[in-house]
Structures are given as structure tokens and as C-alpha cells.
Copies of this chain bind each other. A is one copy, B any other.
């Protein structure tokens, strides 16, 4: 039995709690949240104990911590969990500072603590199937990857202001996906971005529409485009070109119903809400984490994956501001 301490009882903590409930070999032993009411509700829902965060991080009856707290608190919690030799599941981003992540990584690797960076999209059944088929050589060596990621609508401007910017907040998922699919590190990055969706976003110094080009040493190319707006729902597509063809993952629509009228053939919009779109991915990543630590294996994505994505996000932010490519 893997005994879990759940740090952070907000929206994402609740998702993980639901998944953990269905995993026989795991049990949530204790929960904590800075908001007492949220923590209490989670304790009630899971039957776990309510404890202080520090108490959980050092507890003898906890094997693993699931960190779903605000990013700003990750560093201290990860340090404490590492010292207490807990397995760590941490929401992305690990930290906003690449230096901080390097510091944590050094500690984690020295201590040999299992660490999982929660890039949930790797576990989406469609993207995972695509990656497995790529890996099996179905289309030969990868030549060009195109990732499209568009939110239905922008988050509140206050969120934007503290988000670290589009590249760190939103495109970071795509950077990880690009690495996951390419299987070779990127060596150059070029980013462009602008504020076309909402002028307030531009005034806040951020962009809402952006595109990044990445290349590898062997000349493979990846294009990522992001927007904070998509009228037709949450747009999440991947297209990979290889020697012998293409593999792509299409959007998930609300229903399979199609109408045909004088206007033409009409299918549903895509699923709008990320928790619904990636429901299966959230469940699968937690199962993978628990399975890995139960088997004594190193979970993936690692903290190094978290670091690399953050390095790309920083580089993109810089490239977008300077207009110059960045060598990685």
C-alpha cells in the first residue's frame, strides 16, 4: 500500500483524490491546504486525516506526496519531501526559476527520490497511442512535428499577470509534448507572439497568440502554435511527419452527432473544459506514478523533463521579446 499525503485540495487536488480513490494499492492518509475549509472538505470526502503541510512532509506514515499547491510553494515542499525521502508527484511547473529546478534536481538525484513532473498530456490515451506508434517505427524517423494548442478563452487578466506569461504557463505543455515525441533535444528556438485576443493581455506585457519553431541538431523541426482563444472549443492537435507518412491526433468533439442541412454538414464543437478533455490523462498519470513507485521504478516524466520544458519556455519568452533566435 502506497500511503499518500495530498498537499493542495483545490481543483487539481480533487482530480487526483478521485483517481487515488480508485487505485487499490494507494491510500490517501493525510491532506493539507492553506484554506482550512478546502482541506476539511477533502478530509471528509476521502476519509483522510487533516494535517499541517509540514507534518505531512515529515510523517513516517506517508510514502509519497502529491503536490497540487501554488507554484510558489513547490520549492520548499519538494526540498522537505526530498529530505524525508518521500516519492514526489508535483504539478507543473516545478518552479518558475530554472535555477531553482536545477537545485531541486541535484538534491533529488543525490537522494535517489522518485520524482514525477505531472505533464499529464503524455498520458492522454490518444497522444500516448500516437507516441507509442511513433516509437514502434510506424512512420519511420520523425521529420517535422506540428502542435496546435488553443484555449477556448483567456483566463482572467489577474491570472495572466502572475502566470509567468503564455510560454511558461500554456506552451510549456507543448514544449514537453514536443520533447516527448521528438526523442531528441532541441538546439535552436525562435518565437513570435502578439496580443490579438485581448489588449489587456498585451498591456500586461504578455502575448495571447504565439508560434515557436524548434530545431534539433539533426535538422528535425517542430512548430508549435498557441492561442488563448478558439471559438470552437479547446483545440488540442498533434501532427507528426516522418519518412513513411504522418500520424496525427485529432480533437475530441462533444458528441458524435452530425447534422446535414442546407448549410452543410455540421459536427459538434470540441470539448471545452480542460479537466473534461484530459480527464483520462489525469487518471492515467496518477496510475503511472503509483505503479512506478510500487514497482520500485523511476517514474517519468522526471524532474529533468520539468527542467527542460522550463528552459524552453524561458528561451521562448526571451526570443519573443528580442525577436532573435536562441541557441539552447
How many copies of the shown chain assemble into the complex?
Answer: 4
CB-CB under 8 A from A324, the residues of chain B are 324-325
Q: Is A46 an interface residue (CB 8 A)?
A: no
Interface residues on A, range: 35 or more
Decide if B257 touches A245 in the complex (CB within 8 Å): no
Determine the residue in chain B with the shortest Cβ distance to A131. Answer: B257
Complex contact B188–A323 (CB within 8 A) = yes
Check A138/B259 contact, CB under 8 A, given A194-B219, A211-B213, A325-B325: yes
B241 touches A261 (CB 8 A): no
Decide: A231 and B244 in contact? CB cutoff 8 A: yes
- Asked if A213 contacts B241 (CB within 8 A), the reply is no
**Chain A 241-258: CB-based contact to B (< 8 A → 1; otherwise 0):** 101111111111101111
Quick one: given A215-B194, A257-B126, A324-B324, are A245 and B225 in contact (CB under 8 Å)?
no
Cβ–Cβ < 8 Å partners of A246 in chain B: 230-232, 235, 259-261
Interface presence of A168 (CB below 8 A): no
Roughly how many angstroms separate A4 CA and B194 CA in the complex, as a whole number? 48
Stretch of A99-107, A111-119, A262-270, A304-312 lying at the B interface? A262-270
Known contacts A220-B194, A225-B223; decide if A269 and B258 are in contact (CB<8 Å). no
* Across the A-B interface, the 7 shortest Cβ-Cβ residue pairs: A194-B219, A245-B261, A232-B260, A231-B245, A246-B260, A250-B256, A265-B267
> Other than the known A144-B209, A230-B241, what 10 A-B pairs have Cβ atoms closer than 8 Å?
A125-B255, A144-B227, A190-B213, A209-B219, A213-B213, A229-B243, A230-B260, A231-B260, A244-B261, A245-B262
24 A-B pairs with CB atoms under 8 Å apart are: A130-B257, A133-B259, A143-B227, A150-B241, A190-B192, A190-B325, A192-B221, A194-B221, A196-B218, A209-B219, A211-B213, A211-B223, A223-B225, A230-B246, A231-B262, A232-B261, A235-B246, A246-B259, A248-B259, A248-B260, A250-B256, A250-B258, A253-B264, A325-B325
